[in-house]
Structure 1
Amino acid sequence: MRLRVPVFFLLLLGAILGCSPPHAPYSPKAKQGILDLRDWDLKTSPLVSLDGEWEFFNGLEIPAKTSSKTYIHVPGSWNQFPLPNGEHGGEGTGTYRLTVLLGNPIKDLALQMGDISTAYKIYLNGKLLADNGVVGGTKDSMTPSYKHPIILLDAESKELNFVIEVSNFYHITGGIRKSIFLGPILDIFESKKQEISLGWVVFGATFLMGLYHLILFFMRRVDKSAIWFAFFCIDLSIRGFFTGSVFIYEITQDKYWVYIHKLDLLSFVLALPLFSLFLRSLFPEDFHKHFNTAFVSVGAFFALIVLLTPATEYMWYIQIFQAIVGLIIVFFLVLMIYCIFKKREGAVLFAVGAVFLFLATLNDILNQALIIKTRYIANWGLLSFLFSQTIMLSFRFSNAFVRLEELQRSLEQKVLDRTSQLEEAKHVAEEANSMKDTFISLVTHDLRSPITTIMGILQLIENDYEQLDDMSIKEWLKRAENTSSQSLEMIATLLDLNRLKSGSFPMDNSLIYVFPEVEGVLAKLWAQANSKKLDIRNSIPNDIRMNVDRALFSEIFVNLLSNAIKFCREGDSIEIDFSSKPNAMEFTVKDSGIGIPKEMIPGLFSTEIRSTRLGTNKESGTGLGLPLVYSIISAYHGRISVESQEQKGSKFTFSIPQPLLDLPRLNPA
């Protein structure tokens, strides 16, 4: 019962991933060298393949006169194409020609090229469009290439005449082996991007799974299945770069084609011994070591052939290898059925994933041999296989650790509870110690200067008492009083900051009307504002109410407005505004004063960076007002921000969250 859901999931996944994409609804075929696309609708079918009958000529030139035209099917190889003295064969040269008829000239068309063995030049209306590799009449004069470029068409015409010259002396099959697609540039690029993206997704999933099992092996070396499965995954993930979007061929120079193609085939050949070793490590009782030795030897033998022989030779042997792999696949399937019959742990899940992997691999073999015309899907089969192995491993680990977890559960819970208590106590102690250190540091730093000033004044009076008159003494004592008053104000602010940060400040929240509270603050600051003849406008509506601590709320405006007054010039203006946000009240205090230097803005709300300077009338400050405002707003989980331009003014915006109030609004008297 436990396996039904995973098996159903794997079947569905395999059905989605393993199937080839459906044919396009519009797919006309070329007939006798002409492809009629006059009823082509770009909106419903942006891409169309140039499949069908192309004119074909042996050699790299089109004869001026021909007794009769000969045609070849594209995609396909030219190997069995009849010639006067026999068949063409894989090696040689050939020229393809196709005429495409369009209803109207279409701008910005492009071609997405596929596999063409193994070098070509393409012409449009007699003009060379592009070449891939170096076309030559002999092996020494040509350079092979497997790139799948996008070729832009620079002609706008109702009739497109394509000529493709192909030479091949490096592969057993020659010619246009895969479809060529025609379509608008953007659609061609989008199709290419999707193909590349899918390739990277498959590579990432398979490679990371292989890396995971490799790490798993080094952590627990008793089970060797992990390392063989890791190498198998990594091998097939790398192989994905040689098929589909042919990424490796795209990024390497054509002169290295011989070596890249060997790596391509090696990644395919080595998959057999790696999978055999993995299967042997999983089911040692059922998979006899002699079979494993035979399969590993077969893989090693054909790997040596690929390494030691040229492409035209080892490709013939690869066909034999593909046939052997087909038989081995049948053997593996029979072995899986036997393991299921013996009720080996994980055999069902392994078999389900293996079926999709084998079918996908078989598809790639038949596709490579041009027996079928589909896309390469071995990596998708690998993904299905990986899912099955992941589920199988999860069951194994679950069965292995379930009893251990039951024995440790009680002890672990006690340890967790005790650890949680200790962590909480430690956090409280560290927070209290941090706040204490910060408070002591601030008090020590900020009281040193005013106390030194007061002591200097008192020493001056003491030393020069006989020479000072009463007015001078009163002036010095007034300075000492002002300094002491500022120090007391600073200490009160520091205490409030410390209490707010520690959460010990009692908040007496109540429903208040905002407008009269702000007016009360303006009344306290009237003398300062009047001395500069400032124009202050309170635009807060009369009926706005908030649930806050009255004193703390007033403290916010006291500091913001006193700062605005301090840095305003004579005749400047200050505006207080309000806006209602979802579940919050937002206020702004905007002035037209001298603004704030850009370098000071980041430290405005920090107690560690004291942002203080003299006002326009040489007013001084403690530099703690804005940090106090920030702490009050933070205590209510609100936000504050500042915008400023020098000589143009500043704008402070803050918001305090508020629940929706359904109480009737009253106009305050």
Structure 2
Amino acid sequence: MRQPMIRKTGIFAVFVMIMLIFASGVMAYDTEPIARQGVIDLRGVNWEEKQSVQLNGDWTFYWNQLQTPASIHEAAPPTSSGYKQVPSTWKDGDAIHQSYPNHGYATYRLLLQLREEDVNKRFAIYMPSVATAYQLWINGELMESNGVVGTSREQMVPKNYAKLIPFQSDRSEVELVVQVSNFVQRKGGLWESISLGPVEEIMLQRDTKVLYETLIAGCLCLMGIYHFVLYLARKREKSGLYFSMMSIGISIRLLFWGETLAVRYFPQIPWEIGVKLEYLCAVICMMFLALFVHSQYPLEFNRTVRNWMIRIGSVFALVIFATPAVFFTEGILIKEIYLILCYCYVLYVYVRAVMKKRHGSLLNGLGLMLLFLASINEILFYANLSTFENGVAFSVLVFLFTQMINLSMAFARSFDHVERLSEELRKTNESLEQKVQQRTQALEGKNKELQLMEESRRRLLSNIAHELGTPLTSIQGFIKAMIDGVVKPNDPKYLTILYEKTIYLHQIIKDLFELSKIESRQIRFHFQPLPLISFFHSLYEKYLLDIEKKDLHFVWEVGMRKVPDDRLVIVADPLRVEQVVVNLLTNAQRYTSSGGTISLRIDWELGADGTGQAYIEVRDTGIGIDADSLPFVFERFFKGSDVRKLGGGVGLGLPISKEIIQYHQGSIWVESVVGEGTTFSFSLPVRLAQTNDEEWRVS
């Protein structure tokens, strides 16, 4: 949305400028009173309708004479060559008007014919820049002077800035006499139009021009200061520096051009310094323009061309600075050609940038086109081929305003880019923090695993050294007895004992390694959903015959709670859960006498959300465990006195069962009464399966 609006604004500005230039050409043909043979008839002018008139035409002209009103009346009547076109420089001439050198002195005279009713009215004359010193008489009275008129360079003091001279005539014919001298620059004479009108209107026109140029110069100066401050804040962006120098340079030039406001407010400024500043600023601003545009579009702006523009501009600046105005003002044509060629190339760069769709190129190009047209018009104005003046000041402001918009947009884009990068950096930092936290947690987990593995390793080595010592000692004793002849070497009784001891050692080693793996989380569990009742009933049927062969009763029991279609589900590793049940059944068989009973009971509790705990009990009617031993039955290698008497187990089955159940998020416990029996119970998480759950696989 922003780009089309900018494009329309730029096109409208160029259109307005073209219309103003066209209007200036039309105004040239407006019916204005013209001075003929030193007289201008203003009796047909209605001053209530006409704000002002320009005193253009043929003025009586006295070359190389400084006449006063008194001496003019004594001079011989002038011939046709004694008239000079105003406005024009002395060097300008045609078939009627003679051409003179621009260095010299002369006197102008013009008679104004007013209406009788305009007598005693308050009028004013607006004297623009006169090259380069003058004195003005009105009706024989010296009314104003600018500088010191002289017949040589040593005698005259140059000074030229616009002045307003009010007067009141007591007769209908008003005589104007102007003495002019110039020995200091390329042009001399009344080269700009002199205006006449009611004093209020002329003052209004003068104040309007002053306000107009002051406003533009102030705006340009503020723009320059603003972008210079931006440059100080971000010195990497040289475009801000170039733009600020260009803006400040043009604002300074405006103070010594047109209304020459600097000299008006500070009359003590020497004329030579003012002219040098005017010319220097024009050249220096062009160099900064080249640097600025190159910084914006380095791919489109040839670096070699830029360097030559700066070199040539530097030569011009050096000449202006080191030589007097009488010398460097003569080279204004070369300077204008340089400026126009630079304008053309910069415009060409903008066209290339527009074709490549660079940011802001269209708006900048339109602003430069406006400035280019105004500069051409200014050259035509100084050549007396255009009547429209002061267009350059406005066009410069428009052009620099477009550049300021582009720079502001560039800074806005940079700021947006910085904000996006900051946001991305913030997210990246947060992500890194999360990753660091995750990696830290992972490392802590690995560290805990390593600690568990190390603890398991140390316990394994300690247990191996402790538990293997007794059977190994027994084996060594029997072997030593055989070697010493105490025991027959081939006695089947002792060989059977040795075989049982090796089996016992193998079982210890196997259980120790398995327990160590479970504790260090090195065994992978394969969890899957299992139907609670069907799974444990399958285990009951699987071990029923083995238990009954030992003359024991094996009973299956299920809680009284009814659940249809066997929808109670546990998520477990079927092999590991079976290992726990087998360990408990093996202990029950070992410590239950013939004719005793072993029960496998399943029960559960469910909450309102369909989840709860399943309870699995292995109960026997064996010898039981004394109360003092109950807290230690799940510790490694723990054996009660009853176990020792019967000589069974290595004391690792229950610790292994405990580790497996805890891995399933369950718990295991024991209840026992000596002489009545023992009940080992463990719990597992259970849930009520949905109707669309997959079929349960029982292994």
Same fold (TM over 0.5): yes
* Cα offset, 1:15, TM superposition: 4.2
1:293-372 correspondence runs (5 A) = 293-372=307-386
Distance (Å, rounded) in 1 between the aligned partners of 2:397 and 2:269: 33
The equivalent residue for 2:503 is none
Q: Do the aligned residues in 1 keep the contact of 2:286 with 2:342 (CA within 8 Å)?
A: no
Q: Is 2:40 the partner of 1:35?
A: yes
Instruction: Mark the CA change 1:121 to 1:321 in structure 2 (over 3 Å): closer, same or farther.
Output: same
* Cα offset, 1:351, TM superposition: 0.8
The equivalent residue for 1:10 is 10
Coordinate RMSD, CA, aligned: 2.8
Write the letter of the residue equivalent to 1:143: V
Q: Do the aligned residues in 2 keep the contact of 1:10 with 1:387 (CA within 8 Å)?
A: no
Q: Do the aligned residues in 2 keep the contact of 1:110 with 1:182 (CA within 8 Å)?
A: yes
The equivalent residue for 2:638 is none
Q: Is 2:85 the partner of 1:73?
A: yes
* Cα offset, 1:123, TM superposition: 1.4
Distance (Å, rounded) in 2 between the aligned partners of 1:193 and 1:353: 27
SS of the residue corresponding to residue 387 of structure 1 reads helix
The equivalent residue for 1:225 is 239
Distance (Å, rounded) in 1 between the aligned partners of 2:215 and 2:184: 31
Write the letter of the residue equivalent to 1:49: Q
SS of the residue corresponding to residue 240 of structure 1 reads helix
Write the letter of the residue equivalent to 1:12: F
* Cα offset, 1:193, TM superposition: 1.1
Q: Do the aligned residues in 2 keep the contact of 1:80 with 1:89 (CA within 8 Å)?
A: no
The equivalent residue for 2:103 is 91
Distance (Å, rounded) in 2 between the aligned partners of 1:305 and 1:409: 54
Instruction: Mark the CA change 1:86 to 1:386 in structure 2 (over 3 Å): closer, same or farther.
Output: closer
Q: Is 2:78 the partner of 1:64?
A: no
Write the letter of the residue equivalent to 1:310: P
Distance (Å, rounded) in 2 between the aligned partners of 1:113 and 1:343: 49
Instruction: Mark the CA change 1:85 to 1:397 in structure 2 (over 3 Å): closer, same or farther.
Output: closer
1:634-656 deviation digits (Å, cap 9, x = unpaired): xxxxxxxxxxxxxxxxxxxxxxx
The equivalent residue for 2:676 is none
* Cα offset, 1:251, TM superposition: 2.9
Distance (Å, rounded) in 1 between the aligned partners of 2:302 and 2:420: 38
SS of the residue corresponding to residue 288 of structure 2 reads helix
1:123-522 correspondence runs (5 A) = 123-253=137-267, 256-402=270-416
1:386-425 deviation digits (Å, cap 9, x = unpaired): 332233234434544557667989999xxxxxxxxxxxxx
* Cα offset, 1:371, TM superposition: 4.6
Q: Do the aligned residues in 1 keep the contact of 2:240 with 2:407 (CA within 8 Å)?
A: no
Pick the aligned partner of 1:122 from 125, 132, 136.
Answer: 136
SS of the residue corresponding to residue 142 of structure 1 reads coil
Q: Do the aligned residues in 2 keep the contact of 1:101 with 1:159 (CA within 8 Å)?
A: yes
Distance (Å, rounded) in 1 between the aligned partners of 2:199 and 2:99: 38
1:148-188 deviation digits (Å, cap 9, x = unpaired): 11112142221111111111101111110111111111221
Instruction: Mark the CA change 1:68 to 1:274 in structure 2 (over 3 Å): closer, same or farther.
Output: same
Q: Do the aligned residues in 2 keep the contact of 1:115 with 1:146 (CA within 8 Å)?
A: yes
* Cα offset, 1:26, TM superposition: 6.1
Q: TM-score, normalised by structure 2?
A: 0.55
Pick the aligned partner of 1:109 from 110, 116, 123.
Answer: 123
SS of the residue corresponding to residue 84 of structure 2 reads strand
Distance (Å, rounded) in 2 between the aligned partners of 1:30 and 1:166: 19
Pick the aligned partner of 2:49 from 44, 50, 62.
Answer: 44
SS of the residue corresponding to residue 270 of structure 2 reads helix
Distance (Å, rounded) in 2 between the aligned partners of 1:256 and 1:293: 33
The equivalent residue for 2:661 is none
SS of the residue corresponding to residue 98 of structure 1 reads strand
The equivalent residue for 1:619 is none
Instruction: Mark the CA change 1:2 to 1:38 in structure 2 (over 3 Å): closer, same or farther.
Output: same
1:646-661 correspondence runs (5 A) = none
Instruction: Mark the CA change 1:307 to 1:399 in structure 2 (over 3 Å): closer, same or farther.
Output: closer
Distance (Å, rounded) in 1 between the aligned partners of 2:268 and 2:328: 20
Instruction: Mark the CA change 1:127 to 1:402 in structure 2 (over 3 Å): closer, same or farther.
Output: closer
SS of the residue corresponding to residue 266 of structure 1 reads helix
Write the letter of the residue equivalent to 1:6: I
Distance (Å, rounded) in 2 between the aligned partners of 1:400 and 1:297: 32
Q: Which moved more, 1:311-320 or 1:80-89?
A: 80-89
1:539-588 deviation digits (Å, cap 9, x = unpaired): xxxxxxxxxxxxxxxxxxxxxxxxxxxxxxxxxxxxxxxxxxxxxxxxxx
SS of the residue corresponding to residue 242 of structure 2 reads helix
* Cα offset, 1:373, TM superposition: 3.5
Specify every segment of 5 or more residues in structure 2 that has no aligned partner in the other structure, as ranges: 427-699
1:40-76 deviation digits (Å, cap 9, x = unpaired): 1112112111111212121223471136243221111
The equivalent residue for 1:100 is 112
SS of the residue corresponding to residue 57 of structure 1 reads strand
* Cα offset, 1:376, TM superposition: 2.5
SS of the residue corresponding to residue 94 of structure 1 reads strand
Write the letter of the residue equivalent to 2:373: L
Distance (Å, rounded) in 2 between the aligned partners of 1:200 and 1:301: 31
Specify every segment of 5 or more residues in structure 1 that has no aligned partner in the other structure, as ranges: 413-669
Distance (Å, rounded) in 2 between the aligned partners of 1:320 and 1:326: 10
Distance (Å, rounded) in 1 between the aligned partners of 2:403 and 2:375: 17
Write the letter of the residue equivalent to 1:3: Q
Distance (Å, rounded) in 2 between the aligned partners of 1:85 and 1:68: 11
Instruction: Mark the CA change 1:3 to 1:137 in structure 2 (over 3 Å): closer, same or farther.
Output: same
Instruction: Mark the CA change 1:280 to 1:108 in structure 2 (over 3 Å): closer, same or farther.
Output: same
Distance (Å, rounded) in 2 between the aligned partners of 1:240 and 1:270: 14
SS of the residue corresponding to residue 151 of structure 2 reads coil
* Cα offset, 1:294, TM superposition: 0.7
Q: Do the aligned residues in 1 keep the contact of 2:41 with 2:113 (CA within 8 Å)?
A: yes
Aligned length: 412
* Cα offset, 1:209, TM superposition: 1.1
Instruction: Mark the CA change 1:255 to 1:168 in structure 2 (over 3 Å): closer, same or farther.
Output: farther
* Cα offset, 1:77, TM superposition: 0.6
SS of the residue corresponding to residue 193 of structure 2 reads coil
Write the letter of the residue equivalent to 2:273: Y
SS of the residue corresponding to residue 156 of structure 2 reads coil
Distance (Å, rounded) in 2 between the aligned partners of 1:404 and 1:141: 65
SS of the residue corresponding to residue 197 of structure 2 reads strand
Write the letter of the residue equivalent to 2:33: P
Q: Which moved more, 1:131-140 or 1:370-379?
A: 370-379
Distance (Å, rounded) in 1 between the aligned partners of 2:175 and 2:419: 73
The equivalent residue for 2:434 is none
Write the letter of the residue equivalent to 2:88: G
Write the letter of the residue equivalent to 2:239: S
SS of the residue corresponding to residue 176 of structure 1 reads coil
1:109-142 deviation digits (Å, cap 9, x = unpaired): 1111012111111112222222111111111011
* Cα offset, 1:13, TM superposition: 3.2
Larger C-alpha radius of gyration, 1 or 2?
A: 2
SS of the residue corresponding to residue 272 of structure 2 reads helix
* Cα offset, 1:296, TM superposition: 0.8
* Cα offset, 1:378, TM superposition: 2.2
Q: Do the aligned residues in 2 keep the contact of 1:146 with 1:250 (CA within 8 Å)?
A: no
Instruction: Mark the CA change 1:152 to 1:403 in structure 2 (over 3 Å): closer, same or farther.
Output: closer
